[in-house]
Amino acid sequence: MGIEVCRAVDRADDLDLVAMIDQGDWLFNASDASAQVIVDFTAPDVVMDNLHWCIDQGINVVVGTSGFTDERLARVKAWLAAKPEVGVVIAPNFGIGAVLMMEFAERAARYFDSVEIIEQHHPKKVDAPSGTALHTARLIEQARKAAGKPEMPDATTDEMAGARGAEVGGVRIHSVRAAGLVAHQEVLFGTTGETLTIRHDSFDRASFMPGVLLAIREVVQRPGLTLGLAPLL
Amino acid sequence: MGIEVCRAVDRADDLDLVAMIDQGDWLFNASDASAQVIVDFTAPDVVMDNLHWCIDQGINVVVGTSGFTDERLARVKAWLAAKPEVGVVIAPNFGIGAVLMMEFAERAARYFDSVEIIEQHHPKKVDAPSGTALHTARLIEQARKAAGKPEMPDATTDEMAGARGAEVGGVRIHSVRAAGLVAHQEVLFGTTGETLTIRHDSFDRASFMPGVLLAIREVVQRPGLTLGLAPLL
Amino acid sequence: MGIEVCRAVDRADDLDLVAMIDQGDWLFNASDASAQVIVDFTAPDVVMDNLHWCIDQGINVVVGTSGFTDERLARVKAWLAAKPEVGVVIAPNFGIGAVLMMEFAERAARYFDSVEIIEQHHPKKVDAPSGTALHTARLIEQARKAAGKPEMPDATTDEMAGARGAEVGGVRIHSVRAAGLVAHQEVLFGTTGETLTIRHDSFDRASFMPGVLLAIREVVQRPGLTLGLAPLL
Amino acid sequence: MGIEVCRAVDRADDLDLVAMIDQGDWLFNASDASAQVIVDFTAPDVVMDNLHWCIDQGINVVVGTSGFTDERLARVKAWLAAKPEVGVVIAPNFGIGAVLMMEFAERAARYFDSVEIIEQHHPKKVDAPSGTALHTARLIEQARKAAGKPEMPDATTDEMAGARGAEVGGVRIHSVRAAGLVAHQEVLFGTTGETLTIRHDSFDRASFMPGVLLAIREVVQRPGLTLGLAPLL
């Protein structure tokens, strides 16, 4: 993913690639090269140190690393309070299609009696459901709560064990894992006599690059913490 | 459709069904019964007379009849100018799912290189493409134009004849007709490495009733002409 | 369902409707009317008595009632052994599309590394997964075993609770329940770089009638027990 | 595609890669290396000369090149008549999922009133419809004719121009072209109250390799001409 991002930045006419930092390399390389923005696709155990250093140095950051709990986000905000001119964008998914899918799911939630999520991924994925599915379920839960929607209708009494997925905030998620798949998600809304389906298919990591470039361009004009790509669209 | 609407109004706790007017019946029945709103699901050749009479009588109108050209809409606006307290809602589709599909299609249009529409209906339908597909294509065309999107990529040079569908404002529409189908539409957006699909399935006329009831409740508070259900959501 | 079947038989030129038997009515009405075939859409607690009586009377039977365990099927076979001229067709699903879906799923099973089933039904359904999904999973399990296919790839280690569905014979089933849905099933096969999806959508009980009529026509020429509609196609 | 095939053969334990022949190289390299099978992914203007030479030399051939008319096939058969021990497999698509899709479409054709094909490809494709879609349509046409199916129901009277696709043998094909797509095809069957959909998604050329390897293994045991992968499954 790191190399892919470097390539995308290098190809963009309005951006300059000034440093590539791999595992074991020093972050100083970025400040030495006068980087205005650092993009972090690392791992949950190092991302907080990276963020602290960048904010301290006054460098804006775009983060695609996962594992941000409410507590971690609070810490980032505290660091940013001391450096009000720095911008940080943390996003669970940089695919513009995925971001729109989540926005539309949140918007549609109040108008339908039922909604379930079917996420489909390659069989090497270790977590089920996917982070994007969990995030979508929470957005839907909040939108339904705000609109005063009652619990979804479900007469199931006779059940079996062994399904892959989850129930998050009253929203059922189905996690399909199969060879041949890449990364796909379907949000199915239903009410009397009709259904509305929003589906995102990602075939290639290249699909995340327009979103990463957008975040790089925007973060320099957005001091403070921005969560998700939605506010940038 | 008329009977279905009467039933839905009758069942709604906050609405009263005061008159049912069939072909050949007098519209006076509605004013005699002090109707606040008239719902018109008639035919293109009578709807304009109905509208004129209602506006003249100061009765609000919800219209599901098709065939509204720009010229007809101009005439309705002229009548309303003389009766500024009257509200008229004219909508091509009362399915809330369909309305959201169009809204989402318009919103997504600027972010993708390509978009095509696949609409699927029962084989007794006489027009292809459907009115909803045409309306969606025009919304997409305008959104792309406003965002300065170039023409869609398409290397096709070797073509054949006989397809059912259309090209409207640069957007291809595919019209599928098959036994077993009811009313379905898919809007497929694509850009590097990803696609976003918005699909609406309508299995039953009952799916239009929530939208009709919404329009009835809203039209009394919205003087003037409202086009489509979107502004009411 | 019973009334629907009576209507379909009545409309068929080559069939005569000679008796309609509801809960509480006597089966003798059917033999008095010289019925050649009885169609049973009743309930698990009465279907065995009905079947015993019909076979005893030498009347062929088409059964759409669910709840047939291996033990029950063995009992039916024993009864038929004493009446070798009588035919019985017991089918979990009379939709020709559903029958073909199961046939194709069984056929494709040996060629793909992974397969999962997504069944989608209205929220009044009490059992999850559906009978058709369970039957499909077992067909796939047997076909994979016969072809010596290894277990499906699945790296999931980080799981959550609350999904609706099952694992049957190594095949994951996902059970979606939402307002607006009728009866739908998707079987998704995947191998390196490609997926094959077989989907059946049933919008209306009317879709079962061609299958019921086919079974009625065929059962008179097929002494003994026939399981499922597939052998009749 | 050639390099991909060489790699796949090289990786297979039971096969030996003895020669790689590019544009401009001599076919003699293959006979010098004692090749038992030659795989031809070339172009319509050279494939016939290649085939003639291979058959003459007694080398079996697997052909993935397109452009085989009935006349060309007759010529290949004539060459094979003189060399009855040689086998030739010519296939329009080596994806096992695509082959099964075509088999299932042919099998289902007689049971449904309506069938339409929706093929979806990347926008760099020059021909519309795709070869696979045309082949599927012809298989369906023949199956319907053999079963005595009447014309499909279609009440369309009010049409527009500009659709991309075709009508082949009474079967409508819809050709979708969009960025982000790779190679996909959906065959939609419909009859009263139900639809059956068979969909193939190919995300990667790698998906063709299992089919190519199967053909290589089988062609040495199948003298004469074999059309399509279906007979090998």
Tokens 């976003």 -> residue: B196
Q: What is the pLDDT of residue D43?
A: 87
Distances (CA, A) of A181 to A93, A120, B178, C22, C194: 18, 7, 29, 50, 7
Residue A164 has pLDDT above 90, yes or no: yes
Interface test with C, best of B203, B205, B208, B209 (most C CBs within 10 A): B203
Beta bridge partners of B89: B62, B226
If you average pLDDT over residues C160-172, what whole number do you get? 94
Distances (CA, A) of C15 to C20, C65, C214, C217: 14, 22, 11, 8
* Omega before residue A223 within 30° of 0, cis: no
Q: What is the pLDDT of residue C44?
A: 85
Tokens 């009935």 -> residue: D70
Closest-CA distance of chain B to residue C59, Å: 34
**Minimum CA–CA partner of A189 in chain B:** B97
Interface test with A, best of B194, B198, B199 (most A CBs within 10 A): B194
Is C161:A166 a contact under the CB 8 Å cutoff?
A: yes
Q: Provide the number of CB pairs (under 8 Å) joining chain A to chain D.
A: 9
Tokens at D204, concatenated: 């990667």
What is the SS3 assignment for C227? strand
* Terminal Cα distance for chain C, rounded: 22
Q: Provide the number of CB pairs (under 8 Å) joining chain A to chain C.
A: 181
Per-residue pLDDT of chain D (233 residues; tens, 9 = 90+): 889 999 999 999 999 999 999 988 888 899 999 999 999 999 888 999 999 999 999 999 999 988 788 899 999 999 999 999 999 999 988 989 999 999 999 999 999 999 999 999 999 998 899 888 998 999 999 999 999 999 999 999 888 889 999 999 999 999 999 999 999 999 999 998 999 999 999 988 888 898 999 999 999 999 999 998 989 98
Residues 82-101 of D with CB under 8 A from C: 95-98, 100-101
- Exactly one of A83, A125, A135, A174 is catalytic; name it: A125
Angstrom distance (rounded) from CA B38 to CA B154: 47
Cβ of B168 and D157 within 8 Å?
no
pLDDT in tens, C67-106: 788 899 999 999 999 999 999 999 988 989 999 999 999 9
Q: What is the pLDDT of residue A81?
A: 97
Q: What is the pLDDT of residue D233?
A: 85
Tokens at B52, concatenated: 């004129």
Q: Where are the beta strands (DSSP E) in chain C?
A: 37-40, 60-63, 87-90, 114-121, 165-168, 171-177, 183-191, 194-202, 224-227
Beta bridge partners of A201: A184, B195
Q: What is the pLDDT of residue B68?
A: 86
- Which positions in chain A touch C113 (Cβ < 8 Å)? 178-180
Strand ranges across the sheet with C37-40: C37-40, C60-63, C87-90, C224-227
Q: What is the pLDDT of residue D204?
A: 84
Low-confidence ranges of chain B (pLDDT < 70): none
Q: What is the pLDDT of residue B206?
A: 84
Cβ contacts of D79 within 8 Å, gap of 6 or more: D51, D52, D55, D56
Whether A140 has its CB under 8 Å from any CB of chain B: the answer is no
ipTM: 0.82
Cβ of D201 and C197 within 8 Å?
yes
If you average pLDDT over residues A155-174, what whole number do you get? 93
Q: How confident is the model at residue A70 (pLDDT cuts 50, 70, 90)?
A: confident
Closest-CA distance of chain D to residue C204, Å: 5
Residue ranges for the known binding site of A are 64-66, 91-94, 122, 131-132
**Minimum CA–CA partner of B182 in chain D:** D193
pLDDT in tens, C8-44: 999 999 999 999 999 888 888 999 999 999 999 998 8
Angstrom distance (rounded) from CA D206 to CA D4: 7
Nearest to B155 among D126, D155, D163 (CB): D126
Nearest to B120 by CA among B195, B42, B45, B200: B200
Q: What is the pLDDT of residue D60?
A: 98
Q: Count Cβ atoms within 10 A of the Cβ of residue D67 and give its class: 0-12 exposed, 13-18 middle, 19 or more buried.
A: exposed
Other C-beta atoms closer than 10 Å to the C-beta of A131 total 14
Is B47:B65 a contact under the CB 8 Å cutoff?
A: yes
A202-217 exposure pattern, b = at least 16 Cβ within 10 A, e = fewer: bbbbbbbbbbbbbbbe
- Exactly one of D52, D83, D124, D125 is catalytic; name it: D125
Higher pLDDT, D165 or A203: D165
Residues 14-43 of D with CB under 8 A from B: none
Distances (CA, A) of B23 to B37, B55, D207: 18, 20, 60
Q: What is the pLDDT of residue A24?
A: 85
**Minimum CA–CA partner of B206 in chain C:** C180
- Exactly one of D77, D83, D121, D149 is catalytic; name it: D121
Query: What would you report as the CA-atom Rg of chain C, rounded to the nearest whole angstrom?
Result: 19
Closest-CA distance of chain A to residue B76, Å: 30
* D121, containing H or E segment: strand D114-121
**Length of chain C measured in residues:** 233
- Which positions in chain D touch C203 (Cβ < 8 Å)? 193-195
Cβ of C180 and A192 within 8 Å?
yes
Nearest to A194 by CA among B218, C187, C186, B199: B199
Angstrom distance (rounded) from CA B162 to CA D175: 12
**For D152, which DSSP code?**
P
Q: Count Cβ atoms within 10 A of the Cβ of residue A22 and give its class: 0-12 exposed, 13-18 middle, 19 or more buried.
A: exposed
**For D228, which DSSP code?**
S
Angstrom distance (rounded) from CA B10 to CA B16: 6
Closest-CA distance of chain D to residue C205, Å: 7
Nearest to C191 among A118, A157, A180 (CB): A180
If you average pLDDT over residues A175-202, what whole number do you get? 96
Residue C169 has pLDDT above 90, yes or no: yes
- Which positions in chain D touch B133 (Cβ < 8 Å)? none
**Minimum CA–CA partner of C182 in chain B:** B203
Residue C1 has pLDDT above 90, yes or no: no
Q: How confident is the model at residue C148 (pLDDT cuts 50, 70, 90)?
A: very high
If you average pLDDT over residues A53-78, what whole number do you get? 93
pLDDT in tens, B133-171: 998 999 999 999 999 999 999 999 888 889 999 999 999
Angstrom distance (rounded) from CA B174 to CA B185: 10
Closest-CA distance of chain C to residue B8, Å: 17
Query: What would you report as the CA-atom Rg of chain B, rounded to the nearest whole angstrom?
Result: 20
Cβ contacts of A199 within 8 Å, gap of 6 or more: A101, A184, A185, A186, A187, B196, B197, B198, B199
- Which positions in chain B touch D179 (Cβ < 8 Å)? 112-114, 152-153, 190-192
If you average pLDDT over residues C215-232, what whole number do you get? 94
Cβ of C207 and B180 within 8 Å?
yes
C155-170 exposure pattern, b = at least 16 Cβ within 10 A, e = fewer: eeeeebeebbbbebeb
Told to judge if A149 belongs to the known catalytic residues of this protein, a careful annotator would answer: no
Residues 178-217 of A with CB under 8 A from B: 189, 191-210
Is C78:C84 a contact under the CB 8 Å cutoff?
A: no
**Cα of A175 vs its chain's centroid, Å:** 17
Residues of C with catalytic roles? 121, 125
Residue A66 has pLDDT above 90, yes or no: no
Q: What is the pLDDT of residue C98?
A: 94
The vertex-B70 CA angle with B66 and B75, nearest 5°, equals 90
